[in-house]
Amino acid sequence: MKPRIPALACVAAVAALGACGGSEPTSDTRVVVFGVDGLDPELLQERIDRGLCPNFAALLAAGATFAPLQTSWPPQSPVAWSNFITGTNPGKHGLYDFIHADPKTYGVLNSMSYTDPVGIELCLFGLDLPLTGGAQHLTRAFPAFWEVMADAGVPVAVFRMPANFPPQATKALTFPDMGTPDLTGAASGRAMLWSDGLDRSPSRGSSTTVRTINVIRDPGRPDLLKFFDAVPGPDNTLRCLDDLEAGHAAAVAAGDAQKSATLQAQLDRARETSSPFTGWIDTTDGAPQLGIRFGGIEDGREGEWVTAGVGEWTRWVPVSFNMAPFIDIGGYTRFYFKSADPVEIYGSPVQIDPFAPAMDISTPPEAAAELAEAIGPYYTQGFPDAYIAYKSDLLSTGEFVSQSDTVLEERGQMLDYALDRFDRTGGLTFFYVGSLDMRCHMLWHAQDPGHPHQEAGSEAYAGELDRIYSQVDGMLGELVARLEPYPDAELIVMSDHGFAPFHRKMHVNDWLLQEGYLVLKDDVEQRADGFWRGEDFLGGSLSVFRIGGHGEPDFEASVVDWSRSRAYCIGFNGVIFNRAGREARGIVAEAEVAALQQEIAAKLLALRDADGTAVFTRVLPAQEVFAGPMTGSAPDLQLGFNVGYGASDECATGGIAGAGILVDNDSRWSGSHLMDPELVRGTLIVRSGAQWTRDPRLEDITATLYRLFQVAPPDGLDGQPLY
């Protein structure tokens, strides 16, 4: 799922700066769409009634139309925003979940993008130079509204659209959000923590890195502490490691687990890059100050200091990683000084350098640098709110809120930039804010005394959901004020879905196993610590499949007997059938699908929690939910969870948890929307007060934009104009 970072792309990016010319198109028709991820109509109305959202209240008092908005099946952000982007259902655009199943391997795929496998590589001067493959593509299979409208001459600017990485060539100005990786290739960023505390163990995961540091007290200055470490960078895929790779492949093929693990560790170390820094903490006057410097005399570069007090953030600081002689990749990070005793310093994921991007993060490519010139370095990754760092306890609740505030402050600066352009060009501007969604996910427990996850001090943050609604209301107020010179301009406020509590989680694969739809091999024993064959450990309890060397499926090593398994779960809202002709070891014939859908749906709808609560409100066959050429790739059953229920994290990667079917959600990820779409509707507000006669859908907003600009939509649009 991780994109390959092209080290040579920085050279091309620098060359591209200033390459575009020509004048901007203009339009007297003006429309702004303010997309607020997770803005719930009932929660919004409640806060309007309590006086917490005066700008929303004023908009409605002036005659704006307000209605709950139908979200997507399933109600997941990449799916919902793709419905809006295309004006179609998933059966036409092809996104069904955050995570798609690979029918060839029963593995996981990124639903939003894919990378071509590297084909021919040339090993030259110790470098692996890819000659073919490695290109990244969107999975979306239907034109975006901005592509069609820009081709028709409409000035379109799209600021931070989810599920739009890598950005596709278009005449429109676009910046992607959700799905855009950091410089290491991590989809939600890889956060960092440095600590000299005894309760922190070093680790390196896909989304977090913890490093222990040795703090030295200066003998001549007892108030000055020093330490030396480095920011880990992207894997160096340019290094030629053919011998190690061949040895690892041979060890895997021979079943030598110990040797293959040793060689894999050597490969990982050989590909590591880092950017060294020097740190000091000045404790003079009892007010510790952190200073960090990258570079310096020792590596021939002029050092640059950034500073912060305890509980403060440094400014953005550039970092670079050497990939080959004379080839560096640049990025930006910033630090948060958590504590002086023990010393704990948090580092934001390394952002792609917007001044010289290692990969395109805007259209046209030079637009990223132009934005950075105007507002400074910014979060280029999608999901910039540090939810994984908070979920992993690298940040406390207050620290997570502080980091999220930095994201929202930056979005305010970006909004000013977007509206300056709107003043010049008119046309259509879309602007996205995701912080409300992330705080509802992560902080629901703080204002829900009945939530299974409770922690000391949470009560101090019980008002955080109120606060984020008020912050978004403030952005709306600025937006409305900027539109005062344009009384005829349309303003549409929309969200992709609403929100609800997430108290109980379901291990769907465990249920399928219990009911006989998913079958383990006869000689596989499921124990509390994972799967075993005799005394041989086969893997952790999260794997229902195992993949051999070079990404090829190793069905002999799999714990699952696919010759007897009819269904499995990968993702958050679907059950997938092991179909003959689709899955690699499929056994369910087309003639058996409808009866199996009915059978499993009936059992799931009858499923009750210990207190008698229904776990599902609806379970529907894919063909009743979707329509279009991509329907056959969708999960065969769509799971409409009841309020308070959802799939477990283990489901996302095809996991068997071995911990029961329904368990408490004792996690900071405490609010959700991955439920029956009717229970988590989004929000639609139209400033002009336009009336519509039917229940609005996401796709209808898209069709309405085409009508407002009198642009013919592409054939196959599902949406219909609302006015």
pLDDT of residue 118: 65
How do residues 608-659 score in pLDDT, each as one tens digit?
999 999 999 999 999 999 999 999 999 999 999 999 999 999 998 888 888 8
Helices assigned H by DSSP within 217-256: 242-253
Q: How far is CA 434 from CA 177, 313, 634, in A?
A: 9, 21, 26
Largest CA distance in the chain: 82
Contact 67, 693 (CB under 8 A): no
Q: How far is CA 151 from CA 114, 143, 437, in A?
A: 26, 11, 32
With cut-offs at 50, 70 and 90, classify the pLDDT of residue 199.
confident
Looking at per-residue pLDDT, the higher value among 1 and 106 belongs to 106
Contact 419, 489 (CB under 8 A): no
How do residues 131-151 score in pLDDT, each as one tens digit?
566 788 899 999 999 999 999
Q: Over pLDDT 90: what percentage of the chain?
A: 75
Residue 457 has pLDDT above 50, yes or no: yes
Say how far apart CA 494 and CA 144 lie, in whole Å: 17
Q: Over pLDDT 70: what percentage of the chain?
A: 91
Contact 307, 290 (CB under 8 A): yes
Residue from 506, 528, 527, 509 nearest 518 by CA: 509
Q: Which of 5-19, 289-303, 328-342, 408-422 has the lowest mean pLDDT?
A: 5-19
User: Which 8-state DSSP code applies to residue 117?
Assistant: P
Average of per-residue pLDDT values in the chain: 90
Contact 634, 643 (CB under 8 A): no
Residue 257, C-beta contacts closer than 8 angstroms, at least 6 positions apart: none
How do residues 253-304 score in pLDDT, each as one tens digit?
676 768 877 888 888 888 889 999 999 999 988 899 999 999 754 444 556 7
pLDDT of residue 127: 55
Contact 518, 544 (CB under 8 A): yes
Q: State the pTM of this model.
A: 0.92
Residue 473 has pLDDT above 50, yes or no: yes
With cut-offs at 50, 70 and 90, classify the pLDDT of residue 551.
low
Q: Assign residue 393 a region: left if phi > 0, alpha if psi is -120 to 50, beta otherwise?
A: left
pLDDT of residue 546: 53
Residue 28 has pLDDT above 80, yes or no: yes
The residues pairing with 69 across neighbouring beta strands, listed in sequence order, are: 682
Mean pLDDT on 558-572: 94
pLDDT of residue 255: 66
pLDDT of residue 133: 63
Mean pLDDT on 671-676: 98
